[in-house]
Amino acid sequence: MLLFTAAAWAGVCGEEPVADLERAMLSVFEAWEHVDEAEFDRATLRLDAALACLDEPPAPSTLARIHQAQALVSFVSGRTRATRRSLAAARLVDPAWRLDEDLFPVGHPYRNLWSEATNPGPVQEIGRIPGHEWIVDGYAREEAPTERAFLLQVRERGGGITWTGYLWTYDEIPDRGQNVHIDPRVTPRRLSVSILAVGGALFARQHADVAVGWSEHRAAHPTAGLAARVRYTPSSTLGAEIGAVATTPDNALSGQGTSPELQAAVVLGSAFSLGKQQLHAGARLGGGTDTIRGWPDGPDGPVHVAWSVVGPSLGVEAGVRTKKAELLVASDLLLALGTRAGEGDAVTQPYQLRSRAEVARRILRDLAVQGGVALQHAGMPYVDGDAARIGRRVDVDLRITAGIAVWR
């Protein structure tokens, strides 16, 4: 294959590479049908040369015949494993393809291999190459099969095909820089969707500065819930994140209540590469919602009052990511614009600092396991109608998260 690739670069390719390829494949099929061993060998050489000259992604029908022809070539050369891999690819591309019963009667070894080649197997990420993109079986992809053959091409971004090769194994993929470093301008993945279980503890404390209407309270309670987060990073300089968490209880004193919290943020930052690792950092600008509870005194004890907190957020994040793993640390400060619990209650200005550290590791094609720890510190001053401080409330919410993420 290297010989014919060199010949292609030397300018010996014809003016109609696709037509040359079709003629080469036809000669392979005809040589097999006529049992012409010498012609089959010559046709195989023409097929290799035509593939090396292919300068565009093939149509599905052409791709199917490529796999069919290569299956015959590997079968004649006695490479059973390669034959099975090409047959699996051919049957995947063209599920309606059937063998000629006259050429391959029942019991023929080739027909037996065809019957067994029904599982195309999984795929594995290749890795991005600076300034170029992979074309796998005619489509731009960043992953290649690991259990079947495939046609691999390299296309210059905004340009044409610069290399074409037919590979029977994933390990044959040439090194075009994907194994050296991560492009600092391109994230290893664009989309991450996480579903996490949450467990932890909520610690709450209320301090009273006045003797009437408010009392000192301290409470702690274990919590459990679910969290979901979607993170989209089309480049290393721009991203967006939206998340939701619901835990119960949200009232440490009564051990009751469930109030979901939301947060969305735009991430602006930069990144640089250290080989296969990409370090990144950025500023976060967004907003969030939550509920903070206060406990004014009632005739029969504390009265549970909930304040809905909605406001903007400012934060920072940093981390390191590779094709298979990721570490992220993020912190956001939410400031309420002002909220009331009800008519006649004092205006408050609560705040909340949300910090988290997460690690994730790819285990399958698009699936990763993810876990981390989060700490939220919330506070809210109590003031009377004259804006005089009468007390304050502080919450500390410790959370441990574990779950799965889908990476694309």
pLDDT given at position 337: 65
- What helix, strand, coil percent values describe the chain, rounded to 5? 20, 50, 30
Mean pLDDT value across the chain: 89
CA dist 72 → 31, 43, 58, 84 (Å): 11, 11, 19, 10
Q: What is the mean pLDDT of residues 96-105?
A: 93
Residue 179 lies in a domain: no
Residue 314 lies in a domain: yes
What's the CA gap between 279 and 297, in Å, rounded? 51
Beta bridge partners of 313: 286, 334
**292-349 per-position pLDDT tens digit:** 788 888 888 888 887 777 889 999 999 999 988 999 999 999 887 655 444 444 445 6
The count of structural domains within the chain is 2
SS3 of residue 342 by DSSP = coil
Same domain, 245 and 118: no
Same domain, 96 and 243: no
Residue 185 lies in a domain: no
pLDDT given at position 182: 75
Same domain, 213 and 347: yes
Same domain, 209 and 299: yes
Q: What is the mean pLDDT of residues 12-39?
A: 94
What's the CA gap between 334 and 352, in Å, rounded? 5
What's the CA gap between 170 and 383, in Å, rounded? 67
pLDDT given at position 3: 39
* 270: enclosing H helix or E strand: strand 261-274
**216-244 per-position pLDDT tens digit:** 999 999 999 999 999 999 999 999 999 99
Task: Tell me the two tokens of residue 81.
Answer: 């494993």
Q: Quick check: bond before 260 cis, omega within 30? A: no
Q: Which of 115, 143, 172 is a domain's end point? A: 172
Q: Which of 119, 140, 172 is a domain's end point? A: 172
Span of 56-60, 114-118, 377-381 with lowest mean pLDDT = 377-381
Residue 248 lies in a domain: yes
What is the secondary structure of 370-392 as a DSSP string? Answer: EEEEEEEEEEEEEE-TTS-EEEE
Amino acid found at 314: L
pTM of the model: 0.61
Question: Nearest Cα to 100, choosing from 30, 39, 46, 157?
Answer: 30
Q: 83 — phi, psi (to 5°)?
A: -60, -45
CA dist 222 → 17, 207, 279, 289 (Å): 68, 22, 35, 22
